[in-house]
Amino acid sequence: MKLFLTSNIKLQTLIYTEHLKLNTKFMNLKLKVWRQKNRKAEGKFEEYNAPHVSPDMSFLEMLDVVNNDLIKEGKEPVAFDHDCREGICGSCSMYINGRAHGPLKGVTTCQLHMRSFQDGETIVIEPFRANAFPVVKDLVVDRSAFDRIQQAGGFVSVNTGSVPDANAIPVPKEDAEEAFNVATCIQCGACVAACKNSAAMLFVGAKVSQYALLPQGQVERTERVLDMVEQMDKEGFGACTNIGACSAECPKEIPLTAIARLNREFIMASMSSPKQ
Ligand code: SF4
Ligand code: FES
């Protein structure tokens, strides 16, 4: 779409013009944003005004507008991570008013709209905070610990061949649905950021479950869970104490049963693996 090909400044102008035409009321917001030059520097909150915010802008578009203003003033724009802007990639992780991905349930920051806030509101924006996710700059954190856990076992090394005929590999409907649900995890890290222990059990549970439930995942089932949990511990994530904040704040609403399955898979693997 033409809209997506425009630069941020053109997009801002377009949105502004469209809203003038529609006579929509703009919002006037104050932002308290965490600024930190790099992982070693000390960070602090800085305040910015965000006037002329359209209620129909996404949260990231609002940050684009604020950054354009900062650039015009000769100031450093706020660094934040993003890619798909449609709730798929998990990049847009940040804390908004004390909630991972903001106030709405089951919504990523990029899909959060400014109409979810009140005109005149002060919005506090912070990076995800966990030792295993060090701050790179401002709101950007390094979530490569998740990549290393995935690399430890989140794959199948069997040749799955070409697309099989429908029903050639029977999978019970409940297993197929559960595997699909947990496979919607986008690796965003909100579960870790929301957990008081910075545990990664929901993420690892989702990844282990999606393979454990399907025939293709059986070959490495035992080693997978042991290797992923070992890597999770190496990365410095905390232990789960059954609080449930991870699932409550997960934008893909991965259920706590993923953690229960992870625990079962781990116990079974520990008893049967020659490694243990
Ligand atoms: S389990 Fe949910 S919160 Fe955790 S990484 Fe996956 S999608 Fe994000
Ligand atoms: S930018 Fe991809 S999920 Fe938000």
pLDDT in tens, the chain (276 residues): 334 444 555 666 666 666 655 656 899 999 999 999 999 999 999 999 999 899 999 999 999 999 999 999 999 999 999 999 999 999 999 999 999 999 999 999 999 999 999 999 999 999 999 999 999 999 999 999 999 999 999 999 888 778 878 778 889 999 999 999 999 999 999 999 999 999 999 999 999 999 999 998 999 999 999 999 999 999 999 999 999 999 999 999 999 999 999 999 999 999 987 666
209's tokens: 């479950």
Residue 275: what pLDDT?
64
93 within ligand 2 shell (Cβ under 6 A): no
189 within ligand 1 shell (Cβ under 6 A): yes
Q: For the whole model, what pTM was predicted?
A: 0.89
Range 152-155 contact pairs with CB under 8 angstroms and sequence separation of 24 or more: 152/227, 152/228, 152/230, 152/231, 153/207, 153/208, 153/220, 153/223, 153/224, 153/225, 153/226, 153/227, 153/228, 153/231, 154/207, 154/211, 154/224, 154/228
190 within ligand 1 shell (Cβ under 6 A): yes
The answer to whether 111 and 58 are in contact (CB under 8 A) is yes
Residue 2: what pLDDT?
39
For residue 165, what is the DSSP state?
P
Could you give the CA distance from residue 203 to residue 156 in angstroms, rounded to a whole number? 18
108 within ligand 2 shell (Cβ under 6 A): yes
CA-based R_g, the chain, Å: 21
Who contacts 116 (Cβ-Cβ below 8 Å, separation ≥6)?
A: 102, 103, 104
Residue 258: what pLDDT?
98
The answer to whether 49 and 123 are in contact (CB under 8 A) is no
Residue 52: what pLDDT?
86
- Pocket test of ligand 1: the residue of 91, 105, 252 to mutate, having most ligand atoms within 8 Å of its CB, is 252
For residue 172, how far is the Cα from the chain centroid? 30
CA-188 nearest atom, ligand 2: 3
Residue 1: what pLDDT?
37
Question: E-assigned strands of 107-216?
Answer: 122-126, 135-137, 140-141
